[in-house]
Amino acid sequence: MECQLDRITVHYELCGEGKPILMLHGMPMDHTQMIYEMERHFTKRAGWKRIYVDMPGHGKTPGRDWITSMDQVLDVVEDFIDRVIPSERFAVAGTSYGAYIGRGLVYRRGDQINGLLLTVPAITPDSTKLTLPPRTIIVKDQAILDAAKSANIAWFGEGAVIQNRVTLDYALALNHAVADGNFLDKIRRHGGFSFDVDKLRKPFPAPCLFIMGRQDHWVGYRDAWNILENYPRATFAVLDHAGHLVSGEQSELCAALVGEWLDRVDEWVAQAHP
């Protein structure tokens, strides 16, 4: 589907009906990442409208020249929200870069958000300021590495903590994503938001879930603890046996955690915003 905004056309996919939940992918992924990670949670759960968006420079949403910063990416996401679900309350689920944009939404319009899921969130886009664990491989499998190489997944050997078939299948799904590398390099060079995204006017009261990989040497897990008091209804889960590919490496545990978070959001909406 296409959403025509003033200066950009945003591509998105819509699944189901009910309470809106906005899905924000990582960089350099696209909406297909979030479909792979999230749709399984709704096969037996009705009442949710899942909105899978391609952010600028990802998938079928172009990276326009006038977009030069993450502030402007956030502007586009907000304009998209106002066009697709105007005046509605919604939940947000973001992975990695998408989790950073999700925190921007909480900063700007937290009173409108029913819940927040942050999976392997980068607390700052500046990698030099992250607290990272050492690179660790827990399960090694040369046959899996060879299969990843044959599938042209060059980053699998560097990113995977668990080199098995389930993680490879997750990586294969991610590898189909499309992104504009030159546009994303421009956004990265500009840095993060111009504002301190973690200086909220008040704590965010709705149910939250942080899912971190204990062996995530790309964004780490310790820095996320420093913002936890912004989210008094948050579960903070640091999963062993997982790195930045936690949704593949700890698939069943992630499913249990996300299902419980969705239950809490259902309860929150029924009690606080019937």
Per-residue tokens: 183? 């546009």
CA 119/CA 138 separation, integer angstroms: 20
How is 217-272 classified by DSSP, letter by letter? TTT-SHHHHTTGGG-TTEEEEEESS-STTHHHHTHHHHHHHHHHHHHHHHHHHHHH
pLDDT of the chain, 274 residues: tens digit per residue: 999 999 999 999 999 999 999 999 999 999 999 999 999 999 999 999 999 999 999 999 999 999 999 999 999 999 999 999 999 999 999 999 999 999 999 999 999 999 999 999 989 988 899 999 999 999 999 999 999 999 999 899 999 999 999 999 999 999 989 999 999 999 999 999 999 999 999 999 999 999 999 999 999 999 999 999 999 999 999 999 999 999 999 999 999 999 999 999 999 999 988 7
* Backbone conformation region of residue 43, classed left if phi is above 0, alpha if psi is from -120 to 50, else beta: alpha
- Residue 89 buriedness (CB in 10 A; 0-12 / 13-18 / 19+): middle
pLDDT in tens, 200-209: 999 999 999 9
pLDDT, position 274: 73
Question: Residue 115's beta-bridge partner residues?
Answer: 91
CA 15/CA 6 separation, integer angstroms: 25
pLDDT, position 272: 85
pLDDT, position 40: 95
Q: Domains for the chain: give ranges and CATH numbers.
A: 2-127+178-272 (3.40.50.1820)
